[in-house]
Every structure is written in C-alpha cells, then in structure tokens.
C-alpha cells in the first residue's frame, strides 16, 4: 500500500506523518529481521558447539572404542592418589579461557559474586578419538567441556547455582548409545536464593559427556544439616554411584534405573547412610570430602568430626574415628593401605593438621602419626588444612592455611618428636618433615607426580623439583589466585583460577 502513495499531492504536514510512519515500519522490519538473524545465528552457534562433541551417530567402531578416561574423578581414582603424568619443567602460558562469574550465597548468608573455579574444582580429563577434553564445573553455574589442545569451549550445561566441586564420570554398562553411556555426575550449591527448607533441591545431576544434555537429577533432601550443597565427588563402584552429600548422608544411587516425572529423570536411591550420630551432634553435618575405597570399605570424612568407614555391600558403618574438627578434605590411600586425613582448625582447642590413619585398628590405636600445621588465620579460616594431601610412594605433600607447602615422608616417624592431638589431651608421634616452603595461604590440594610437585595458593601456582637431598627446588611460578586443584598430562598443567580463567601451562 505504501508503494502506491503519491507524495506529490500531499501537504507538508501529511508528508511528514507518512514519512515517519514509513520510517517506523522500516525500522521495525529491520529490528525483526535482525532479531530473527540473531536467534538463527545463536541457534547455529549452539549447534556448531554441540556438533563439536562426538555424537557417534556416524562414527566407526574404532571411534567408539577410543574413549579413554584419564582422570575420571577428584584426585584421579577410587583411592584418590592419581593426578596425571609427565608434568612440564616450566609454567609458560599456552592458553587461558574465561569461564565466567555468578552470584551465590556465602558462608554467612551474604550474596557474593564469584568468578572462575573454586574448591575443589579439579578438571576431569578424557581422550576421545585422539582428542583431549577437559570437564570442569565453574562458579558461573555451568559444567563445561573444553578442548584441551586450544582451550575452546565445546558445550556448557547450566545448574541452579555455583559449582565448586569436581565431577566423576559414570559409565552405564547397559547402554549401547555413547551419548547416554558416559555421564558426568556433578554437584553444585543448593540453588541461588533457594531456601534451605525448599521441597526440591537438585544439587546433584548427571550430564551427558558427549552432548551436554541432562541425563538425570537428584533431590538432596532437607535434614538437620545446615547445607544441601554437593561439593564432594561421587565414588563409582560398578553401576553404583556413592554420593557424599552436605545434608550429612552418604547416598547409594542406581543411575541405570531411572524413573521419569514430568520432564526430568531420577536415579533410584538404594540406601542413605547418615554420617553423624547423636553423641556428637551439631548443625555442621556436612560431608564435603570425597569417598575413598580400601577393599570393600568406603571411607569418608564429614563436618560432624568423624572419619567413617561404610561397608560397600551391607551399607553398615564398620569403622569410625572421632577427631572433632570440621573435616573438609578427601583422604588419599597410601601405599601401605592407610589414609591421610586433613583437619581444619574449627571446633577444636588444638591445632589442625594431617593424620595418618590405619583403619585396621580402632580408637587412638589407628593413628600412625599426627602432623600439626600452624594456626594462622586467613579469611574465614582459623588454620589447619582445608584441602587434601597428595601421595606418591612414601612421600606426601599438603598445603595449609598457614601459607606453607609441607613435604613429608609418611612412612617414617621422628622418634624425637611427639605432639598434642587436636583435642590437646592425646599425644601422637610426628612424621619426618622433609621440607616446607612458603607459598601463601591455600585451600587447594597440591599434586605430586614423580619428582615434581605442583602447588596452588591464593598467591599463585608453583612448580617444584624434588632434588637429591629431598628438598623442594622452585622451577617456576605464575601469580594469580587459586582455590582449585591442578592436573598434569602430556607436558601440560590444567587448572582453574578465582580470577575467572582456566589456564593451561607447559614448556
């Protein structure tokens, strides 16, 4: 209709009206077209990202057989003592990828904006058809798949709150579809602005490793605990997922048996084991550490102050050792089938530090030694060890809030030294301290691979060589703030930072 208007016969006033009408319609068409193009472009961009994963629809049998899980859970395996291999000699920056930021509720209920990755935040690593991929949860609410060679985002899946912990890879033995066969089991905080007593809290989910789609979600129920987050990494035993939850339970889940309600799938809950008792009861019942396995016994620390051992078959508690402190760390298994248990200085009169526990014995007889760390405060922490120890052979390393990286021989005790335990009333032997180096306050877990140690703190990342005299020689460092645990593979180090980035370092 507008094309037939005769502008010559119109008055100047009417001409202005038609001019502005034409301008408005043209602008609307341009805006609509632009929005459509942007939506189409965004859709295409999303498809391109998703298609960059391995869908396996047209894959050969060789492709299907070439999925290798290198680091499939926090600290590498069910004994929490594998951290990768072949670390570099330098920390040259190869790439960095901005992960984003998000708002979440802090320890005291205040809203904070966090960037990058938090605690424990260790990335997973796979090789798929010859290509290395990282999987990491981030504080911007997203679980992300990253091409490790170039630091390129492949896909991301959004949770309801910040992701702090490390996922675990679950392999569904009953599935022939590769998109559903491999699932990242990942926890998050309970949900931004979600009340503690809400009916539903889906802070544990399964996400397809290949296309980033949701496989299932699990409602972490409200208990006496002050949290419904999931920071710990689940333990995978055959087809069973063993999940440490911050509601104070160790949950056994069957993710092969899913039920559907509405648009979501849910795993079958086999059993729930409470990791607390009425004798030492408080609101901090939080299980933040990841379970370790020795024979058929699952060991997990918790905020109730206990190290528990749960029989994998009967689901009964068969071991307990009361320390009293808030126990955040994961306990790696040593080469003599003991556990290294880190202790935060909270709820205890004495020092935090590191225990070596032999679970073949009970009571204080299970303690091989106790190593006290300094009681220096930092941020909300009063001292002790928040992260975990790492172990290689007879040696172990751990970071502390007091700022030191400690290098210890866990097999030897110093016969000339004894120390008070965290309760200040029990006396324990101390291990042989080989070396200590100041790196700044840290809640990150250092890793030890052969004669190399990689340690992160709020001051930076440090690469050490263990020399012939069992001392730590600094090879290189890179300054920015870290809470997460690194991994190393094929001459590269991968670790996320609180500055918002995932980093790749190498020679």
Instruction: Write a three-state SS string for 47-76.
Output: HHHHHCCCCCCCCCHHHHCCEEEEECCCCC
d(CA 114, CA 77): 29
Q: What is the token pair recorded at 9?
A: 């016969």
Element (H, E) at 265: strand 264-274
CA 27 to chain centre: 48
pLDDT for 8: 33
Element (H, E) at 300: strand 297-301
Contacts of 505 (CB under 8 A, 6+ apart): 88, 90, 91, 92, 93, 94, 461, 478, 492, 493, 495
Coil, strand, or helix at residue 386?
Answer: coil
Smallest Cα–Cα separation from 493: which of 478, 481, 503?
A: 503
Question: Are β-strands 249-261 and 264-274 bridged in parallel, bridged antiparallel, or unpaired?
Answer: antiparallel
Element (H, E) at 215: strand 214-218
d(CA 356, CA 302): 17
Residues 419-437 as b/e (b if ≥16 CB within 10 A, e otherwise) read bebbeeeeebbbbbebbbb
Smallest Cα–Cα separation from 410: which of 466, 359, 367?
A: 367
Q: Give me the residues paired with residue 102 across strands.
A: 114
d(CA 188, CA 273): 20
403 near 439, Cβ under 8 Å?
yes
pLDDT for 178: 86
d(CA 448, CA 425): 33
Coil, strand, or helix at residue 394?
Answer: coil
Within 13 Å, how many C-alpha atoms sit on residue 283's CB side?
4
DSSP E strand boundaries for 400-471 = 404-420, 427-438, 447-449, 452-456, 461-466
Q: Give me the residues paired with residue 477 across strands.
A: 462
Q: What is the token pair recorded at 363?
A: 């009571």
pLDDT for 203: 99
Q: What is the pTM of this model?
A: 0.88
Name the region of 12 (left: φ>0; alpha: ψ -120 to 50; beta: rest). Answer: alpha
Element (H, E) at 261: strand 249-261
Q: Averaged in consecutive runs of 10 residues, what is the pLDDT profile of the chain (507 residues)? A: 35 40 40 35 32 39 73 99 99 99 89 97 98 99 99 99 99 89 98 97 98 98 96 97 98 95 96 89 92 98 97 98 97 99 98 99 98 95 98 99 99 95 98 99 99 99 98 99 99 99 99
Q: What is the token pair recorded at 70?
A: 């290198």
Fill in the DSSP letter of residue 366.
Answer: G
Q: Is 459 exposed, middle or buried (0-12, 13-18, 19+ CB in 10 A)?
A: middle
pLDDT for 279: 78
d(CA 112, CA 194): 15
Q: Give all strands of the β-sheet with 492-496 in edge-to-edge order.
A: 92-98, 501-506, 492-496, 487-489
């Amino acid at each position: 209709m507008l094309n037939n208007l005769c502008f010559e016969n119109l008055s100047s006033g009417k001409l202005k009206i038609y001019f502005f009408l034409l301008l408005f319609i043209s602008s609307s068409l341009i805006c609509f077209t632009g929005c459509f193009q942007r939506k189409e472009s965004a859709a295409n961009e999303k498809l391109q990202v998703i298609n960059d994963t391995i869908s396996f629809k047209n894959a050969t049998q060789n492709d299907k057989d070439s999925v290798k899980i290198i680091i499939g859970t926090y600290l590498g395996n069910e004994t929490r003592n594998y951290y990768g291999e072949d670390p570099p000699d330098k920390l040259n920056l190869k790439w960095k990828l901005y992960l984003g930021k998000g708002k979440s509720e802090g320890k005291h209920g205040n809203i904070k904006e966090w960037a990058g990755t938090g605690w424990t935040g260790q990335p997973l690593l796979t090789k798929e058809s010859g290509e290395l991929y990282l999987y990491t949860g981030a504080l911007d609410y997203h679980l992300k798949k990253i091409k490790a060679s170039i630091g390129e985002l492949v896909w991301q899946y959004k949770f309801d709150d910040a992701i702090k912990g490390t996922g675990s890879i679950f392999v569904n033995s009953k599935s022939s579809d590769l998109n559903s066969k491999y699932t990242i089991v990942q926890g998050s905080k309970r949900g931004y602005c979600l009340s503690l007593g809400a009916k539903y809290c889906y802070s544990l989910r399964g996400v397809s490793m290949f296309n980033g789609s949701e496989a299932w979600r699990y409602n972490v129920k409200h208990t006496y605990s002050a949290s419904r987050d999931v920071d710990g990494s689940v333990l995978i035993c055959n087809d069973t997922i063993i999940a440490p939850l911050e509601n104070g339970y160790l949950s056994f889940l069957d993710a092969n048996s899913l039920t559907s309600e509405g648009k979501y799938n849910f795993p079958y809950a086999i059993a729930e084991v409470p990791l607390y008792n009425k004798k030492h009861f408080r609101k901090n019942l939080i299980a933040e550490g990841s379970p370790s396995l020795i024979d058929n016994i699952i060991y997990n620390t918790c905020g109730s102050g206990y190290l528990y051992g749960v029989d994998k078959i009967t689901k009964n508690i068969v071991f307990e050792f009361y320390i009293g402190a808030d126990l955040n760390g994961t306990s790696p298994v040593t080469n003599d089938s003991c556990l290294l248990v880190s202790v935060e200085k909270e709820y205890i009169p004495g020092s935090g530090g590191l225990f070596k526990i032999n679970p073949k014995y009970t009571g204080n007889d299970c303690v091989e030694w106790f190593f006290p760390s300094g009681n220096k405060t930092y941020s909300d922490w009063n001292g002790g060890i928040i992260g975990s120890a790492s172990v290689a052979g007879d040696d172990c390393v751990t970071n502390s809030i007091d700022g030191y990286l400690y290098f210890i021989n866990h097999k030897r005790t110093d016969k000339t030294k004894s120390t008070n335990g965290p309760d200040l009333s029990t006396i324990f032997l101390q291990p042989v301290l080989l070396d200590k180096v100041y790196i700044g306050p840290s809640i990150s877990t250092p890793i030890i691979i052969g004669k190399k140690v990689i340690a992160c703190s709020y001051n930076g990342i440090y690469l050490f060589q263990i020399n012939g005299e069992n001392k730590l020689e600094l090879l290189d460092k890179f300054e920015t703030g870290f809470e997460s645990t690194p991994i190393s593979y094929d001459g590269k180090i991968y670790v996320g930072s609180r500055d918002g980035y995932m980093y790749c370092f190498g020679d």
